[in-house]
Structure 1
């Protein structure tokens, strides 16, 4: 049978089964945007022919990584909000006041390029201005599962003293909701299915009960998922107790949110009982170890969630306080932090971290029928990783195999040589093929210069961050 591309003589990690589905001398045959076959190289070469054959000697072929929770529009503010207590109020808000929708788009493209070069093929992007940001995914050729960030709070919410109830404005919520509906009706299942949409309630503390119920009904109408922060911090729990007399998770149970439609992001403040309740409800958990570790100093309860038989995925979250939108970073963090949390080096093995960034992530976001593993009939979203990079060398296959642990504990992302999405290389032999990377960096820098210049007078006078800057600690 004639196919378009054959990658042969490679180590292949299919992610099929309960482990990583390793094939030592493997090959993948691709036609159009689909995987036609995955098998031993001899079998593939005997049964398929192609004018384009890629020699995968000393390479690893694996499914593309899935970033299940990212706010790419915040990429324009990378690194402005860490090493402080109130990361949002003290660090982020003084800059956010001066960010325009155009700035969001520029920062988004920067984040997307960063992710692609480190092997991310699918981005669950959850941000404001998504009807414009989504065009970045069209240009760059990545897969995206997008949602508009919907809330009823004003842009100057950072000025509200900590502990006071957030004001809600229905006109703000309605405008953002209409953007989410427009996003869905304009973009869902477009670009050959690369772009799909969800609904994005910001959090149970950020909107009225009426709007939450309306978004739940819309998710049911359009048969999609709800991407939402849940129990993401002590501020949220404080708001919920003051407004409803209930913590977030019992409240969500009461209004019918805890089911398979919900992507519950963070669960940072969830109790063990609440974590188990979410897991058993069928809702998925998205864990962002790098972000929550840096901005909160907390290890989210993903291990407890998995032990309760929940479906979970990894995300990189936001660049202002995580700095790094790289799924290799998230795989390493989630494994190491949970080993430390349990004081047990045997828990959270490397292969589990890889699954949470591939096939388990695909299950969580509802796309496992199309992506997440290398299998006949699935979309051809895959990576070619150079195993001769120092961080992946030497390769040992007997008596144990070291590729998977090195992928999690050693790789940094620069080992990714090529990235294919929907059967097309968008990053090939370490060159981005679809957009001008230097131009993206330059335009983002110009926007960041303007924003930071305006933000100088907005940093709180008593800010821990400002004091450290005065002492030249940053």
Structure 2
């Protein structure tokens, strides 16, 4: 039989079974956009030839990484609001408000963000942003797999609610955003050979009325799609929920029927153990953004508590202004180290487990477990080839213990990703992006951010805490 591509002599990490499923001299055949054979190189070569054979000696071939929660539209404002107690209002808001007025800038930042993540091995993006009907076209252009949702909230365009006050809702604004999400689904769901799929995206239970949340829930059942939503993401949210409903977020969502397999609940930063395990027991998935939450809030979310009940836990990088990078190798390492510190136990969150959280368990959590996340015959051909001869990943030790997976989690930076394949198409080869001009993408983003920052300078200067932040960043203190 003849395949399109045949990877041979790889250290193959299949993610099959309950571990990482390593084959020390493995081969993978790809025909069209599917994996057509997996096994020992000697055995696969007995039955398969290919139009192109790739010798993967000294390389790892593994499933593509899944970023289960990312706002690519924030790519331009990386690093503007770090090291603050109130990251959003005192740092990000002046820039974010100006950025969102400039759709072209949002899209140029998104494209740069996607290229950044792709080069570090991310093949699937759960992109949660606005305006998604424009942003999704970046995924089409680059060739990535994307599971997209439009941010839906009823907050007014000019949200001037003081911290601690109950949000004022604008139902007309919420309805417009809901209709945009429905339009996104109609235009883009299951397009590009199935690479693009859509979900519904209420921004959070505190940012939508109960009536709108119920409308979104009904649409999710009717359209048979999932719901991507921030849940218990901060004390500000919990304060809003208690003021409005007299209930914390997760008990409220349970009461209105949101806790089920359709829900991808992001962060759970403020969730108690009991709330976390209630959500897990109802079949919802949890998306853990370790790097972002550590930098923004100095908090380690209750992932271990969730895992006591369910394995539907995935990792996400969140956004560039909160996390500074969108790199799933970074997220795996952060997740392992922070939880080892939290529990004062070096054996928790071992390397193989967090690698599963970025591959097969992530695929299950986002509803694509039958399509991606492991190297199995019939699954989509989303693959990475990683150069293990790079100094930070060397030497390769296979006996009497294997050091390959620990080194991928604790040593890799992402720059060792030599080849990326999505849906059977090679997007990166010899470390170079093939589908877009990377340098032009960066130049375009730089030009766009300069006009955004110029527009943000006056509103930024009016916030006393922001002025202090600028002095800190400019070494004036």
Q: State whether TM-score is above 0.5.
A: yes
Q: Deviations over 1:156-199 (max 9, x none)?
A: 32x32100111111111111111100110111110000000000
- Separation in 1, partners of 2:346, 2:309: 20
Q: Does structure 1 conserve the Cα–Cα contact (< 8 Å) formed by 2:311 and 2:361?
A: no
Q: 2:254 matched to 1:292?
A: no
**What secondary structure, in the 3-state scheme, does the structure 1 residue paired with 2:458 have?**
coil
Q: 2:94 matched to 1:64?
A: no
Structure 1 counterpart of 2:316: 315
1:161-310 correspondence runs (5 A): 161-310=162-311
* TM-score normalised by L of structure 2: 0.98
Q: Deviations over 1:301-330 (max 9, x none)?
A: 011100122410000001111111000000
- Separation in 1, partners of 2:105, 2:292: 22
Structure 2 counterpart of 1:28: 28
- Separation in 2, partners of 1:384, 1:284: 28
Q: Does structure 1 conserve the Cα–Cα contact (< 8 Å) formed by 2:84 and 2:469?
A: no
Q: Does structure 2 conserve the Cα–Cα contact (< 8 Å) formed by 1:282 and 1:310?
A: no
* TM-score normalised by L of structure 1: 0.98
Q: Does structure 2 conserve the Cα–Cα contact (< 8 Å) formed by 1:84 and 1:465?
A: no
- Separation in 2, partners of 1:103, 1:51: 41
Structure 2 counterpart of 1:348: 349
Q: By how many angstroms is 1:331 displaced?
A: 0.2
**What secondary structure, in the 3-state scheme, does the structure 2 residue paired with 1:434 have?**
coil
Q: By how many angstroms is 1:465 displaced?
A: 4.6
Q: Deviations over 1:236-290 (max 9, x none)?
A: 0000000111000000000000011100000000001101101101000000001
> Which sections of structure 1, spanning at least 5 residues, go unmatched?
none
- Separation in 1, partners of 2:467, 2:254: 41
Q: By how many angstroms is 1:79 displaced?
A: 1.1
Structure 1 counterpart of 2:328: 327
2:150 pairs with 148, 173, 193, which one?
A: 148
- Which is further off, 29-38 or 309-318? 309-318
Q: Does structure 2 conserve the Cα–Cα contact (< 8 Å) formed by 1:280 and 1:310?
A: no
**What secondary structure, in the 3-state scheme, does the structure 1 residue paired with 2:3 have?**
coil
1:420-459 correspondence runs (5 A): 420-459=421-460
Q: Does structure 2 conserve the Cα–Cα contact (< 8 Å) formed by 1:30 and 1:380?
A: yes
Structure 2 counterpart of 1:118: 120
- Separation in 2, partners of 1:201, 1:137: 22
> Which sections of structure 2, spanning at least 5 residues, go unmatched?
none
Please identify runs of 4+ aligned residues in structure 1 that moved more than 6 A. none
- Separation in 2, partners of 1:285, 1:116: 23
- Separation in 2, partners of 1:310, 1:149: 26
- Separation in 2, partners of 1:122, 1:420: 11
1:460–1:279 distance in 2 versus 1, CA, 3 Å:
farther
**What secondary structure, in the 3-state scheme, does the structure 2 residue paired with 1:166 have?**
coil
**What secondary structure, in the 3-state scheme, does the structure 2 residue paired with 1:426 have?**
strand
- Separation in 1, partners of 2:163, 2:133: 31
Q: By how many angstroms is 1:466 displaced?
A: 2.6
Q: By how many angstroms is 1:409 displaced?
A: 0.5
**What secondary structure, in the 3-state scheme, does the structure 2 residue paired with 1:339 have?**
helix
- Separation in 2, partners of 1:217, 1:280: 22
- Separation in 1, partners of 2:464, 2:142: 39
Q: By how many angstroms is 1:468 displaced?
A: 4.1
- Separation in 2, partners of 1:82, 1:300: 19
**What secondary structure, in the 3-state scheme, does the structure 2 residue paired with 1:348 have?**
coil
Q: By how many angstroms is 1:75 displaced?
A: 0.6
Q: 2:43 matched to 1:43?
A: yes
Q: Does structure 2 conserve the Cα–Cα contact (< 8 Å) formed by 1:90 and 1:460?
A: no
